[in-house]
Chain A
Amino acid sequence: MSYKSIIVAGCMLLVASGAWAQDKPKTTNTQLEDDAKQANATFIFDEAQLGEDDDAAKATTLVSNQNDPYLKEVGYTFSAMRFKLRAYDSQYSGNYFNGVKLNNIENGRFSFSGMTGGLNDVVRNQEGLMPFDRNDWGYVTMGGGTNTNLRASTYRAGHKIGLAATNRNYILRAQYTYASGLNKNGWAFVAGLAYRWGKEGAIEGTFYNSFSAMFGVEKVFNEKHRLSLNLWAAPTERGQQGAATEEAYWLANNHYYNPYWGYQNGKMRNSRVVTECSPTALMTWDFTPNKKSKLTTTAAFSYVMYGSTALSYNNAYNPLPTYYKNFPSSVVNMYSDGSGLGNNPETWNGYPGLMDQYNELRAMWGTSAGRQVKWDDLYAQNLANNQYGKDALYYQEERHNDQLAFRLSSVWSQDFKDQHLNVGIHLNTTKGMHYKTMKDMLGASQFHDYDSYSVSEYGYGSRQVQNDLDNPDRSIKKGDIFGYNYNIFVNKAQAFTNYSVVKGGFAAVISADIEGTTIEREGLMRNGRAADFSKGLSGKAMFLGGGGKLQLSYTVGNHRFAIAGGYESQAPIAYNAFVASRIQNNFVNNLKNEQILTAQASWQWRFGPVSGKFTGFITRNWDVTQQSVAYLDPIGNVAGSDRFSYLTMTGVEKRFWGVEGAVTIKITDNLKFNAIGTYGDAKYHGNPLAQLAYEGDNPTTTAAMNVWQNPVNGQSQPLRVIYHGMRVGSTPLTAVSLGLDYNINGWYFEVKANYYDRVYIDASPYTRLGSVLDANGSEAGRENVDYFVYDKDAVVIAGAPSVFEQAEAQGGNVYEKGTGNLLASYAPSQEKAKGGWMLDFSIGHQFRLNRGKVLNVNLQVNNFTNNTNMKTGGYEQNRTKENSPYKFKNNSFYWYANSINAFLNVNLRF
């Protein structure tokens, strides 16, 4: 084929992708007339101002191992449902590059889009391991790890150019990779460029604009020394999607409704835009003194720039379309018919005026402009408000989480006859910089750095209302830092070793590590609400940890049996370590190392054409510190004073267990049957201690929030979250895939049927606070949350549920009559999403062209039956305001798996 026809094919692809971009699911306005977020950039999200860091709940598992039939497939196959391996948070998986761990040490996670977004082609050379295997580059904990080799000499020499069209987050991707291979002078080069773009992705209101580039060079000096250098960056700008309640999806007639955008002057404008770039430089020295030893030393330096915008408001009405007062269900309680008003809108006895309002709000939701952010109105109000000389009512802020990180790793690998020893160190020193800037004043002419939530409580003249006491009443313009500004310093030093021996069919691997971590906060603003403990250094919190692992395996014929166990004590995550990190320097109470105990047994086997692997595992993870942030109804219901709150749980315990399996049947030379699956559980155990802080930070109020008063004997008990039995959410605990694979003459076909079940919706810790469960009657309309009293002398009525059974059914605490002893606590139940099937197929062909060129064309269609009812996860609302017709506990936020989506990929290698 000539160059010309390839160019034509490429251009046709571009044109086709343009056409594709228009062909996405739309809402149909003709079907009408027939029904609060959030968050701070760190963790769990909530209504009102809070948004989400889209990586948190959506992080998927990516340990992959070509030799392990389960790990080879699981991450990719189940990615549509945001599957997490063994339900572990991604912070427990290590992502290494040339032996240095590039996870973000502040939150433990690895950001794929931030670090290597788009550069799939240059990060193909990977080795994935589970925790107990022999590991020549690092020491991984329960989630395993992956090491990617970036040395320029390891890339296949030649050019590769790829074009892809899709209807997912982005529409178009172009990639170019060039590797020189090792030339006779000992030099090798590799360069990769990629561009991903989508003016509007599959989800309304989202967009994607990402460019990535990688450059690597390696020099082999002699047999003993090699030096390699890699530089890369992936500047990206993208518009995010937000979760919504089922009512919102129903009103919008679409499970892909996105509240984070609206029209401005007729054009789409997203309110949650992420701008990120993490330029990284990595240098590796490979020293091979002899055939049996190797010293691999890598240093990496990265500068992470991450900003995420959010719409904010000041003495105004929450502009988020999913604010509860915008919903028709805020007009009347849809879930109860106590009140004579019924739960069927058509029969609201004698009050058609309520029906009018319900219909008016429904009609508003029925139009695209009505259910999205009303940018034009925000500008109108700001412009009109300028006449009063007051601060902006609405504005857009950008929350930054930047980082300067330096990492060093050095591993000595020594081979003996049938033994192997690795000894290594990993060092990490990171400075995290957290602040927010004024992104867009939306037409307003002024803004000052005050905490608007504190104004009515303390007044403009007070010190508490200042975010920066050393620069009070500061006027803020676009680009200025305001609100909060602090650094987090984390330093970690780890030394590890592993020793493995193979004797006959037996093999053993013993590993151990020891690590030291320090965490410190440096406040750069003296916050008025914590004047004495916000600016300056918090002092270092130091943690010493370590652990060990052992794996024994026996290989006989086509079978391998292995059993392994390990224990680890590791430092808490820096993000969770501070009581209210935006405001003050205090560490959370009871901060300590978390503990992990994990064990697994596996059998990898082959019986002729049938092969596979079965694994069982069990893990206990305790003394964990977890923090979530939310806007809460104020304690005492002081109108309008919503509070941005932090809830830190310490002593959290989670228990995991599961079975994993992979079976491959080679039916003929061309046809294979593959099945992989897992069934397991991931549950919280016990009721962790809780510490609440809020940003108004009035010491009396904070003290009152943290008191759990025993309702029977009036004494104070330590505040806890009743969380026992809650499950880890937003990952399918049951996942099975059955597939057929056929290849012939360079063509390959694959079809998979994937079944998912037991996805749980994240349970709110706020609504399960012991004090919240007890509150009864004192707040009007508080229906069924109450405490229970067990009277051992009470007459037992046959057939009637006991007090314990009642408490278990709705959640609550059971106290002993008289003494007030807390006999039992039951967490209100957690929502489980409905399971279902999604089908994928893919078809591809490899063309061998003249002069060794290879053209690969591949089309994948995922979810081709267009199942739009699969929830990938979600979260409950944190508000407990019972005295409102809108029922927060019946209105959780959900995410849905993508509707039918396709990926057409064309690659040319030459």
Chain B
Amino acid sequence: MKKYIFMLCASLACTACIHNFDAEMASAAQMTAENVGEPNTTIAKVREMYKTQIANNTNDETAKVNDDLIIEGIVTGNDLSGNIYQSIYVQDVNNDGTIDSDNGGIQVCIKGVGSLASVFPAGQKIRMNLKGLYVSGYGKMPRIGQPYITTSSSPSVRIGPMAQTHLKQNIQLVGTHHANIVTPHEFTSADMDKIDKLTPLFVVMHGCKIKEADGKATYAPTETGVYSVQRTLQLADGKTVVMYNSCSASFASDVMPTGKLTVYGIMTRYSSTWQLILRSVDDVVIEK
């Protein structure tokens, strides 16, 4: 009798205790490339090289990068609040390590990554090898991505988010991020004739007002069939730019503050329209 019980216990003891999983020390670096190589060009030069494609929102093979173009840049904006979707914004680094805040950077479109903000926080330096990717424009604003088909009844091809597999293939994180390295460009209406040069760019504007702010209006109220809401941002001297707010932003239902504001954000364009995109609700600061 005892021997049978032993056999039973022996089979019970065969279990491996497999189901306790400890939190592992994983880092975002394991999601990206280890080393894409030394940078051999700049964002400014890449914009110049592909200026025809950018200006024409080209979607064909002429937008494809066939050589090892390796850039280095600093992340200025990401999808932290959901206002920016499937993109990060990157600007050139000066020789002294500061961010080049006088020249527009470039949008990098990536899909399939839950939180680009966790992998690419603002102030993170990255290196990218553009080989195999596409450089073009969206509303003439420079971006790096891959072609995709729009799904209207008459579909067309545009350059949009690259597949998530490119994180490991083309993008490298360099060191840890330093949030205070991201210095904004002081944007005034005197800048408004330089739309080619100054988009996309991390900016700050003082003495602004949101025209539609009335103490009740929210950034992007939910409405049937609507993805985003455009507000009017008035600069100190009365000139306006569009403030583009996504209905999926976490602050979409927050009430827009009235009065004078200091507004940070990524200044983008759609064709000849200036368009400011907030990175989070903290980009709007009430001036005292």
Contacts and interface: CB of A to CB of B under 8 A. Distances in A.
A211 B162 CA distance: 49
Interface residues of B, number: 74
Interface of B: 1, 3-5, 7-8, 10-12, 14-16, 18-19, 21, 23-31, 59-61, 64, 80, 82, 85, 111-115, 117-119, 121, 132, 134, 146-149, 151-155, 157, 162-166, 218, 220, 222-227, 246-254
A354 B8 contact: no
Contact of A360 (B16, B31, B163): B163
A352 B14 contact: no
Contact of A380 (B30, B82, B251): B30
Interface string A822-856: 00000000000000000000000000000000000
A197 B61 contact: no
A356 B27 contact: no
B60 to A, nearest CB: 6
Contact of B113 (A317, A459, A637): A317
Q: Give the residue among A379, A380, A780, A882 with the most B Cβ atoms within 10 A.
A: A380
A353 B147 contact: yes
A118 to B, nearest CB: 13
A638 interface: yes
Contact of A456 (B29, B112, B149, B248): B248
Given A353-B146, A638-B248, 13 more contacts: A14-B14, A351-B59, A357-B147, A380-B27, A384-B27, A384-B28, A385-B115, A387-B121, A456-B247, A459-B218, A459-B251, A638-B227, A884-B151
A388 B117 CA distance: 9
24 contacts: A14-B10, A14-B11, A161-B8, A174-B12, A195-B12, A199-B16, A316-B115, A325-B112, A350-B61, A353-B134, A354-B147, A357-B147, A360-B166, A382-B118, A385-B115, A385-B117, A388-B121, A440-B21, A443-B24, A457-B253, A459-B251, A459-B253, A639-B247, A641-B222
Interface string A344-379: 000000111110110011011000000000001111
A408 interface: no
Interface residue SS majority, chain B: loop
Contacts of A237: 19
Interface stretch (A331-339, A725-733, A746-754): A331-339
B118 A393 contact: yes
A702 interface: no
5 smallest CB-CB distances across A and B, nearest first, come from A316-B114, A459-B253, A636-B224, A317-B114, A640-B248
Interface residues of A, number: 88
Contacts, number: 219
Nearest to B179: A387
B222 A7 contact: no
Given A377-B31, A456-B247, A459-B218, A269 B21 contact: yes
B163 A456 contact: no
A623 B149 CA distance: 46
A267 B17 CA distance: 12
B23 A379 contact: yes
B119 to A, nearest CB: 7
A442 interface: yes
Nearest to B169: A360
Nearest to A273: B19
A640 B248 CA distance: 6
A885 B253 contact: no
B244 to A, nearest CB: 13
A688 to B, nearest CB: 26
A381 B223 contact: no
Nearest to B166: A360
Nearest to A325: B112
B188 to A, nearest CB: 31
A1 to B, nearest CB: 14
Nearest to B224: A636
Contacts of B21: 264, 267, 269, 440
Contact of A639 (B148, B149, B166, B227): B227
B82 A456 contact: yes
Interface string A633-668: 001111111000000000000000000000000000
Nearest to A640: B248
A363 B134 CA distance: 20
B31 A637 contact: no
B28 to A, nearest CB: 4
B200 to A, nearest CB: 21
Contacts of A639: 85, 227, 246-248
Contacts of A357: 146-148, 162-163
A379 B149 contact: no
A460 interface: yes
Given A176-B8, A341-B155, A443-B23, A384 B134 contact: no
B247 to A, nearest CB: 5
B11 A885 contact: no
A237 B162 CA distance: 40
Nearest to B80: A388
A265 interface: yes
Given A456-B82, A641-B248, A360 B15 contact: no
B82 to A, nearest CB: 6
A821 interface: no
Interface in A455-495: 455-462
Contacts of A457: 222, 252-253
A781 B149 CA distance: 12
A125 interface: no
Given A363-B165, A385-B115, A639-B227, A376 B157 contact: no
Nearest to A777: B153
Contacts of B60: 350-351
A319 interface: yes
A357 B160 CA distance: 12
Contacts of A377: 26, 30-31
B224 to A, nearest CB: 3
A195 B11 contact: yes
B30 to A, nearest CB: 6
A593 B42 CA distance: 72
Given A315-B250, A361-B163, A193 B112 contact: no
A394 B157 contact: no
Given A341-B149, A635-B224, A885-B151, A376 B252 contact: no
B82 A315 contact: yes
Q: Give the residue among B85, B148, B254 with the most A Cβ atoms within 10 A.
A: B148
A10 interface: yes
B50 to A, nearest CB: 14
Contacts of B163: 357, 360-361
Q: Give the residue among B111, B118, B151, B155 with the most A Cβ atoms within 10 A.
A: B118
A227 interface: no
Interface string A307-328: 0000001011101000001100
Nearest to A317: B114
Contacts of B23: 379, 441-443
Q: Give the residue among A11, A207, A357 with the most B Cβ atoms within 10 A.
A: A357
Nearest to A363: B165
A459 B114 contact: no
A861 interface: no
Interface string A602-634: 000000000000000000000000000000000
A885 B111 CA distance: 15
Contacts of B3: 3, 7
Contacts of B82: 315, 456, 640
Nearest to A886: B151
B222 A883 contact: no
A159 interface: yes
B216 to A, nearest CB: 13
A163 interface: yes
A80 interface: no
A641 B222 CA distance: 10
Contact of B24 (A264, A316, A339, A441): A264
Nearest to A381: B118
Nearest to B7: A10
Contact of A172 (B14, B111, B218): B14
Contacts of A441: 23
